[in-house]
Amino acid sequence: MMDIRAYLREKKGIVDEALQGFAPRHEGPAEEVARAMNYSLFAGGKRLRPILCMAGAAAVGGDERLVLPAACALEMIHTYSLIHDDLPVMDNDDLRRGKPTSHKVFGEAVALLAGDGLLTEAFALMARTGPSGEPEPPTLLRVIALIARAAGYEGMVGGQTVDIVSEGKQVDAATVRFIHTRKTGALIAASVVSGAILGGGDEGRVAAITAYGEATGLAFQIADDILDIEGDSEKMGKRVGGDARKRKITYPSVLGLEESRKIQETVLEKALSALEGFDTRADPLRDLARYIVERKK
Amino acid sequence: MMDIRAYLREKKGIVDEALQGFAPRHEGPAEEVARAMNYSLFAGGKRLRPILCMAGAAAVGGDERLVLPAACALEMIHTYSLIHDDLPVMDNDDLRRGKPTSHKVFGEAVALLAGDGLLTEAFALMARTGPSGEPEPPTLLRVIALIARAAGYEGMVGGQTVDIVSEGKQVDAATVRFIHTRKTGALIAASVVSGAILGGGDEGRVAAITAYGEATGLAFQIADDILDIEGDSEKMGKRVGGDARKRKITYPSVLGLEESRKIQETVLEKALSALEGFDTRADPLRDLARYIVERKK
């Protein structure tokens, strides 16, 4: 059994260093928006999506360094979604990871534009690293399409929309599943799958990793819901209980805490069994799935 | 001399038909955001950016039908920028092209997400049309990188930010030029340049078309500024004089109307002279530049 905390620390260091290299430059008249983009990009994220991308590449025997542009692009997309999600017209959150949210520091207009800038830069980053040869341009286009679809109206943006318009309403288990698989699950799945594709995995491996990614993404969001009830505000860097105050659709609110825990266990098993045909190079993915369910922040 | 109005009508028809095919599908739980995306996408735009993309391809002897995915992606990016720009935290506009703006119809949260969805879908569209062979994947990656850079913090998003943070302030001619070349000029230039690249233009042609595009983009925004003072509200589908009310940085507000008209003339000449080495296949680009300066809406 590997030490997941040491693993996360090591990979986070690699991602942070790569992100510094890819981050917007603070100069010229557009420095205000670059500053806002960087403020959120370096506000203390766990870098889970980039790490999943690297672990996906490693699981199929690929080079995890080769996926760093895509991995950092995924973090930019995740960060943009947090900035927009925190805006007053959305969740209206003042704190994120223990720091004031973007619009509290830069104002709503610049925060909105910083989110737009990060989303756009993610695609610029992926596309411009292509023509140099590796990864092959057709592979890179496939990954860009995959990530865009996961982030777009059929994925994260669609899930966010249903989440927002459902607030305070009675919904069924199918709707909460739709929200969770799209809002968080889609980008988490795309992270690990894009790693497997860029790492050179064959179609069978990519399909298995897709099953792993979808299950892990759902497990992640259920864990988030449970943490919002049982978590420690100090560790999480934000107030707990926010979901209930905002009458958010969550697994516990729709199905109860016990049932949510059972679903989480089933989903974790599904993630692990998807990796049955993989050797020890998939151990980071196995431990990441367990960590995602058991984490305390 | 070609009939520019007939040309614009014909090409708009081709773009509208292609856009219908590429537009988000209205089904399933995410239909609300798809409906909002389509509402703005089909709210009566002139399709100037897609038409410039097609004309850029034609000018270098390329097939204008081949650029339709990129052309429609450019229209999605333009439309997202209008939705976000109209939001209360930005320009707070209620009307666009004579119709209620997105947030007036769908609420601010869904409008924000519809913009995010369109920006993301633009990249999904460009990337997924690649692997089929034509255009070649490396060429397509180059175009995606070009468009992302033009739309991002170094281009449109950067220009919008400086525009917003400069409102009501005294600025110099360099700042108004920065705002205009980024806010509008960058995406207009990228439209025609991506057409020339996808159409198979060599580097010399692409450089000439880049000079044309940058000049035409700046001419477009100066024309917009002048129309906001002298235009006809009914023809434009929005109230004129909005820039002055919002204390926006415009060419006339910084340099006066006469000086702005002179700059516009110089810029138009620059656009036309960039095309001197081109044959009659560049006539649509020549007429488009004149139309952009002389249009009444």
Ordered per-residue pLDDT tens for chain A, 297 residues: 579 999 999 999 999 999 999 999 877 777 899 999 999 999 989 999 999 999 999 999 999 999 999 999 999 999 999 999 999 999 899 988 889 999 999 999 999 999 999 999 999 999 987 555 578 899 999 999 999 999 999 999 999 999 988 888 888 888 888 888 899 999 999 999 999 999 999 999 999 999 999 999 999 989 988 888 887 666 666 667 778 777 788 888 888 889 989 999 999 999 999 999 999 999 999 999 999 988 766
List the domain boundaries for chain B.
4-294
Which residue intervals of chain A are DSSP H helices?
4-22, 31-41, 48-59, 68-86, 102-106, 108-128, 137-151, 156-166, 173-180, 186-198, 203-230, 233-236, 242-245, 251-255, 257-274, 283-294
Average pLDDT, integer, range B183-197: 96
DSSP string, B223-255: HHHHHHHH--HHHHTS-TTHHHHTT---HHHHH
pLDDT for position A152: 97
Mutate which: A81, A89, A121, A153, vs B, most B CBs within 10 A: A153
- How many Cβ atoms are within 10 Å of B186's Cβ, its own excluded? 25
Which residues contact residue B189 at a Cβ distance below 8 angstroms, ignoring those fewer than 6 apart?
B150, B210, B213, B214, B216, B217
Min CA distance, B172 vs chain A (Å)? 12
Among B109, B117, B178, whose Cβ lies nearest the Cβ of A29? B178
pLDDT for position A1: 57
Whether the CB of A154 is below 8 Å from some CB of chain B: the reply is yes
| Whole-number Å distance between alpha carbons of B289 and B13 | 20
Average pLDDT, integer, range B107-117: 97
Residues of A with Cβ-Cβ distance to B151 under 8 angstroms: 120
Q: Which of residues 27-56 of A touch B (CB under 8 A)?
A: 29-30, 32-34, 37
| Whole-number Å distance between alpha carbons of A145 and A235 | 36
| Whole-number Å distance between alpha carbons of B45 and B8 | 12
In chain A, the residue whose alpha carbon lies closest to the alpha carbon of B131 is A138
| Whole-number Å distance between alpha carbons of A5 and A10 | 9
What is the fold of A4-294?
Farnesyl Diphosphate Synthase (1.10.600)
- Percentage of chain B beyond pLDDT 70 is 95
Min CA distance, B52 vs chain A (Å)? 22
Query: How is residue A24 annotated by DSSP?
Result: P
Q: ipTM of the predicted structure?
A: 0.95
| Whole-number Å distance between alpha carbons of B228 and A123 | 34
In chain A, the residue whose alpha carbon lies closest to the alpha carbon of B80 is A116
Mutate which: A79, A113, A140, A162, vs B, most B CBs within 10 A: A113
Residues of B with Cβ-Cβ distance to A249 under 8 angstroms: none
Residues of A with Cβ-Cβ distance to B80 under 8 angstroms: 116
Is A130 in Cβ contact with B141 (below 8 Å)?
A: yes
Higher pLDDT, A116 or B246: A116
Among A30, A90, A123, whose Cβ lies nearest the Cβ of B153? A30
- Whether the per-residue pLDDT at B289 is higher than 70: the answer is yes
Min CA distance, B49 vs chain A (Å)? 18
Please, what is the end-to-end C-alpha distance for chain B in angstroms? Answer: 22
Mutate which: A101, A105, A116, A169, vs B, most B CBs within 10 A: A116
- How many Cβ atoms are within 10 Å of B285's Cβ, its own excluded? 25
Higher pLDDT, A142 or B171: A142
Min CA distance, A210 vs chain B (Å)? 19
Which residue intervals of B129-180 are DSSP H helices?
137-151, 156-166, 173-180
Residues of B with Cβ-Cβ distance to A138 under 8 angstroms: 130-131, 137
pLDDT for position B236: 64
pLDDT for position A167: 84
Which residues contact residue A280 at a Cβ distance below 8 angstroms, ignoring those fewer than 6 apart?
none
- Whether the per-residue pLDDT at B53 is higher than 70: the answer is yes
Among B30, B117, B160, whose Cβ lies nearest the Cβ of A113? B160
Is B149 in Cβ contact with A30 (below 8 Å)?
A: no
Question: Which phi-psi region, left, alpha or beta, contains residue B286 (left: φ > 0; alpha: ψ -120 to 50)?
Answer: alpha
Min CA distance, A132 vs chain B (Å)? 9
Give the CA-trace dihedral at A97, A98, A104, A110, to 10 degrees: -30
Say if pTM beats, i.e. exceeds, 0.80: yes
Q: Which of residues 174-203 of A touch B (CB under 8 A)?
A: 175, 178, 182
In chain A, the residue whose alpha carbon lies closest to the alpha carbon of B147 is A124
Q: Is the peptide bond before A24 cis (omega within 30 degrees of 0)?
A: no
List phi, psi (to 5°) of B280.
-65, -15
Whether the CB of B121 is below 8 Å from some CB of chain A: the reply is yes
pLDDT for position A249: 81
Is B158 in Cβ contact with A145 (below 8 Å)?
A: no
Q: Are B74 and B122 in contact (CB under 8 A)?
A: yes
Residues of B with Cβ-Cβ distance to A144 under 8 angstroms: 123-124, 127, 144
Strand, helix or coil for residue A164: helix
pLDDT band at residue B232 using 50, 70 and 90 as cut-offs: low
Higher pLDDT, A133 or B186: B186
The average confidence (pLDDT) of chain B is 91
Higher pLDDT, B229 or B50: B50
Whether the CB of A121 is below 8 Å from some CB of chain B: the reply is yes
Q: Are A255 and A263 in contact (CB under 8 A)?
A: yes
Mutate which: A26, A120, A129, A165, vs B, most B CBs within 10 A: A120
Average pLDDT, integer, range B121-135: 81
Query: A2-17: string of b/e by CB count within 10 Å (b at 16+)?
Result: eebeebbeebbebbbe
